[in-house]
Amino acid sequence: MNVVETRDLTKRYGKVAALQDCSLAIPEGHLVAVVGPNGAGKSTLLNLVVGLAAPTAGEVSVLGGVPAGSAAALDAIAFVAQDMPLYRSLSAVDMIHLTRNLNRHFDTEYARRRIDDLGIAPKRRAGKLSGGQRAQLALTLALARHPRLLVLDEPTAALDPLARHDFMAAVMTAMAEDGISVLLSSHVLAELERVADYLVLISHGQVRLDGVVEDLIGRHLLLTGPSLQARDPDWRIIQDISTSAQSHLLVEIAESSTHGVAPGWEGRPVSLEQLAMAYLRETTSPQTSLAGVAR
């Protein structure tokens, strides 16, 4: 079952296309990192998935074909928006009660226990909580709904490293305990590199790369060799940093390729961050890749 499936999904605000012809099929059970620079269209994609926004063109369905935004979709998806919007004048207990009354299913006991464990004063107004506590409260409210899909928009952007770690730990625990799928956006890949097992790379409103992280790593290679050395036709060159003597290539190896690395080339595995950078460079400005700024 695909937790998120889109076909030629396009969203325009006025004349600006925030998302263009986006086609995805994300299977369940993953922690999906939606990564891209600021303004790339990450929030737009997430808003479409949770039904806050409606597509200009194309289609989006969730949880095995349920239309996004429908009653069934809302019932099974929990969303934590950017900046954790909570009613500032309501306490944690009030927010728990509120969320319970806005949903068919809500695990009040779980929510209360988690608030307790986190050391959040139950009667304290949400507006007076620290950033980390607010994020944890928002996450608790989402998790207590026992959703099948949890969608988090830049959840860690405003958090300090410790709070960020705690937040991600809570998400991972929920994944392990409830078997939920998580869709999470961030403009910092580094913090997701160890936890995300599915990547959706977006820039300028378009999906540049998507797939299971392991597969992506497996079919890309960093190659070093003499500049004049023949290049394998099975390689699709993503990044080419060449001097007169040597070439540093990041290539995607065709699935049909059966042989190993061509003679004269030395291959190394690529890291997820290197891969993401190369794809973002490839599409944003081709000149920079030629300028030879290796990371």
Q: By CB under 8 A, is residue 101 in contact with other proteins? A: yes
Return d(Cα 263, Cα 253) in angstroms, integer.
15
Beta carbon nearer to other proteins, 100 or 231: 100
Beta carbon nearer to other proteins, 41 or 225: 41
Q: Considering only residues 124 through 153, tell me which ones interact with other proteins, judged by CB under 8 A.
A: 138, 145
Q: By CB under 8 A, is residue 67 in contact with other proteins? A: yes
Torsion angle defined by CA atoms of residues 205, 208, 211 and 216, in that order, rounded to the nearest 10 degrees: -150
Report the nearest approach of other proteins to the CB of residue 15 (Å).
15
Q: Which of 28, 93, 103, 219 binds other proteins (CB under 8 A)?
A: 103
Report the nearest approach of other proteins to the CB of residue 56 (Å).
10
239 class by beta-carbon count within 10 Å (0-12 exposed, 13-18 middle, 19+ buried): buried
Report the nearest approach of other proteins to the CB of residue 192 (Å).
22
Q: By CB under 8 A, is residue 279 in contact with other proteins? A: no
Which range, of 33-41, 50-58, 183-191, 219-227, touches other proteins by CB under 8 A?
50-58
Which residue in 264, 265, 276 sits closest to 220, CA to CA? 276
Q: Which of 97, 112, 124, 248 binds other proteins (CB under 8 A)?
A: 97
Report the nearest approach of other proteins to the CB of residue 271 (Å).
34
Edge-to-edge strands of the sheet including 31-35? 77-80, 149-153, 181-186, 31-35, 198-203, 206-212
Q: By CB under 8 A, is residue 66 in contact with other proteins? A: yes
Q: Are 251 and 223 in contact (CB under 8 A)?
A: yes
Q: By CB under 8 A, is residue 87 in contact with other proteins? A: yes
Q: By CB under 8 A, is residue 85 in contact with other proteins? A: yes
Lookup: tokens for 135: 């994020």
Which conformational region is residue 262 in: left (phi greater than 0), alpha (psi within -120 to 50 degrees), or beta?
beta
Report the nearest approach of other proteins to the CB of residue 98 (Å).
6
Return d(Cα 30, Cα 175) in angstroms, integer.
9
Q: Which of 27, 28, 29, 81 binds other proteins (CB under 8 A)?
A: 81
Return d(Cα 295, Cα 278) in angstroms, integer.
10
Residue 249 Cα to chain centre, angstroms: 26
Beta carbon nearer to other proteins, 87 or 246: 87
Looking at the DSSP assignment, which residues form a beta bridge with residue 182?
Answer: 31, 150
End-to-end CA distance of the chain: 37
Cβ neighbour number for residue 194 with a 10 Å cutoff: 9
Q: Which of 37, 72, 108, 292 binds other proteins (CB under 8 A)?
A: 72
Which residues of this chain interact with other proteins, rule CB under 8 A?
5-8, 13, 47, 50-54, 59-61, 64-67, 70-75, 77-79, 81, 83, 85-88, 90, 94, 97-105, 138, 145
